[in-house]
Amino acid sequence: MRLRTSCLAVASVPLLLAACGGGSDDNNGGTTAAPVARVEAERCAALAQAALPESSTVISATYNAQPVTVSGTSVTVPFCRIVAASKPTADSNIGFEVWLPPAASWNGKFQGVGSGSSAGSIGTAAMLVALRDGYAVMATDNGHVTDASQPNGAAEQTWALGHPEKIIDFAYRAQHVSTVAAKTLTQRFYDKAADKSYFVGCSQGGHHALMEASRFPDDYDGIVAGAPAWQWANLMVAELWNSMPNLQNPGAITAAKMTLLNNAVIQACDAQDGVTDGVVDDPRQCNFNPAILQCSGADAPNCLTAQQVDAANRIYSGARKSTGQQIFPGYMRGSELGWTGLYTGATPGGSGWDFFRYSVFQNASFNNATFNFDTDPDRAFNTLVSGQTVASVYNATPNLAAFRARGGKLIMYHGWADQQITPLSSLDYYQQVQTAQGGAGTDSFLKLYMLPGIGHCSGGPGVANIGGSTGTAAAADPQHDVVRALDQWVAQGTAPSTLIGTRVANGAANRTRPLCPYPQVARYKGSGSIDDAASFSCANP
């Protein structure tokens, strides 16, 4: 049985319930704030008794007028924190939180934020970004809590063993039911519905972004989907494919050799775009052959063994059957530094390690090292989960007709150096949407940005900071912040064009570069600093 609680944390108001601990699960921020906060606190407390749709209930509603720490995130602005749960099935236990800024700070909009990996926690850091920008914001744990004792960390999926409804919750349902309930709470708190609703996520959050657009087109007016794991089931095969050399022959790929390989790739392909800047702008044009580095004799630090050359080519080529049939596209030259930890350890990182054992084959003893790439992918994709195939449960579709018809707008982005989800998968999705929506008309509701030198959601030698899930935007305007670009598109009808990305080192910006809507690319004008966006312009390739 869940107990509903409400707490008032307001200065000079003797209503603080000592048992509430100031509203933080980690740190008691104390009681302060002007008397004007009392009204906000009372409205917040009243939400503890709110009746919610989608089998949802409020567990606690706490107004925090002073800084608090929530799950490691320090929140320094006042807000109403709602902890809630949803049980759409008897086997479901979906946790979510809603953070509501004071009425005077609210921008009139709602934002859902996504998570990453196998998503067993609430993304409080992403919630804080939205809260500071004035959004009523929601995040969910997608129906389960990560078991920290498991060796696979946030990617563990032991929760799926014997729980088919939790699999459905994780794949798409939790995001939807949490969104509907959170919007209801937002309307109750402010006495009006949000004017616009946006969803922002990368990786698993990007996957859920496209699930929302395709399955629940009425949930959000605009969506930012970064590095989306939209073919989740296929991606899991790719993670095993990339890890197989080390699974079968420990030490086949080492971190030191990945640095050697990456340096050689950059040296060979960096200047192809006309600028030597440490970034491979479009790795599809890079044909570097790792065999150039193969040792002529014994293994040495400055060369690759034949086995290491084969492992690199395997990752570049992508998961496939022995017939050559592609299961998931290959990874890009230039992403090698990110392979460390994912594909170089005795136990690979990523969600693929647990996916087939717990989510698909329901066999904790399944040996991933024996995975048969000719037969096991089809067996996995066609396995039934609550009457649906694994592929249909986990993979988003390119059918965005309903989202487009209701005026929805979608911005996708993907780093060319993504080591975890190949950027070719986003190009594939974009092209499938174009085919489904009639080619050129796609541009009226979907923009894709390919980010040179950017790793998985962030990081890498490129200009990674564009807001959203990539890092703090360099400026609070639509050209530097992808979320503000989306807002301007939805609310004002001004479609985004060129964005400006920023690279930050030691807390300071040291490079800016235009990011062009696909298929355009940034071209150097021939003069000016290569670290200044003004020295480049967008052009067709």
The rounded distance, in Å, linking the Cα atoms of 40 and 31 is 14
What are the structure tokens assigned to 16, written together? 């603080």
CA angle 277, 280, 283 (to 5 degrees): 170
pLDDT at res. 34: 58
Task: Quick: pLDDT tens for 55-87.
Answer: 999 999 999 999 999 999 999 999 999 999 999
- Mean pLDDT, the chain cut into blocks of 10 residues (541 residues total): 45 35 44 68 95 94 95 95 98 98 98 86 94 97 84 80 97 98 98 98 97 98 98 97 88 89 98 95 97 97 95 97 98 95 77 92 93 98 96 97 97 97 98 89 96 94 87 89 98 97 90 97 96 97 89
Residue type for position 396: A
pLDDT at res. 251: 78
pTM for this predicted structure: 0.93
Q: Is 289 exposed, middle or buried (0-12, 13-18, 19+ CB in 10 A)?
A: middle
DSSP notation for 264-308? HHHHHHGGGGS--SS--S-GGG----GGGGB-SSS--TTSB-HHH
Residues 6 or more apart whose Cβ sits within 8 Å of residue 96: 84, 85, 86, 122, 138, 139, 140, 141, 174, 178, 181, 182
pLDDT at res. 22: 42
Q: Which of the residues are catalytic?
A: 203, 418, 456
pLDDT at res. 120: 80
pLDDT at res. 23: 43
